[in-house]
Amino acid sequence: MGRSFLEGILNAGVLTKAEVLLFGNSKNAGLRQEGYNVAHSEREVLQKSKLVLLAFKPLQFAAVLEKLRGIDRENPDLIVISMAAGIKMDTIRKQLGDVRYARIMPNTPVVINRGMITIAIDQSGKKITPAESRELFQLLEILGTVVEIDETEMDTAIPLHGSMPAYLYSFARAFINNALKHGLDEEKAKTLVTEAIIGSACMLKNSNRPIDQLIADVCSKGGTTLAGLEVLQNNGFEGIIDAACDACIRRSKELSNFFVPLQKFIK
């Protein structure tokens, strides 16, 4: 996800590789070959930067934050943006100290500047100024649509946008595979499915009609759409989606709880 975020920023021409300082552990050699400035450690990135994106996987956060403990004494003007499911800003503050924090959750379409990004800005410690907040929103809006939410809503929002691309790709793949089974060319099937999804999403976003009415508009009594829709309903389609979202939210909360016991093993 961090890679998609960075590529979206670079593709938009907001920054050049020379203006970015990275540290990616085992990926450092490859990053240097690609022309990026690569730091010697995670701590060096935070020491030399005004705005830092922490894009580590949730299970790596405890080890990384331990290396960054007390960074506020070295760079008190730092703004830290976290991008990990389940890792709360208060958890990061306890390690890094009194700097400014925000938490985001983007999805992979940020790489083509069509992403969906939620952001929660910390209100409990040293605060991001209104001017800094505007600059941050302007940066994120280059990558797509930005919605500010409370941090308590982060877990609930993840399946709606952060995980949604994977769910939607799986949905599209099932339709394409069915078309292949019936002999339709793959490229034609992909075009039909993707354009129908794009158009339907635009209708859902821009129409004033309720979702139930939009569904009814496609269905005629005894018709083809209704025949397929009844199969979905009879096999618990909406219940499966509900269970998938619940599992996604539950895992995000589990990752938050996982951080505490993990600290006991880090010296």
Return the higher-pLDDT residue of 124 and 204: 204
Give Cα separations from 76 to 36, 229, 234 (angstroms). Answer: 26, 57, 58
- What is the per-residue pLDDT across 106-115, written as a single tens digit (0 to 9) for each? 999 999 999 9
Q: For position 261, what pLDDT does the model report?
A: 43
pLDDT at 22 over 50: yes
What pLDDT sits at residue 132? Answer: 92
pLDDT band with cut points at 50, 70 and 90 for residue 259: low
Write the CB contacts of 48 (distance below 8 Å, at least 6 apart in sequence): 21, 39
pLDDT tens for each residue of 183-219: 999 999 999 999 999 999 999 999 999 999 999 999 9
Q: What is d(CA 131, CA 151) in angstroms, rounded to the nearest whole number? A: 21
Q: Environment class of residue 103 by beta-carbon count within 10 Å: exposed (0-12), middle (13-18) or buried (19+)?
A: buried
Measured distance CA(168)–CA(86) in Å, rounded: 22
Predicted TM-score (pTM) of this structure:
0.88
Mean pLDDT score across all residues of the chain: 91
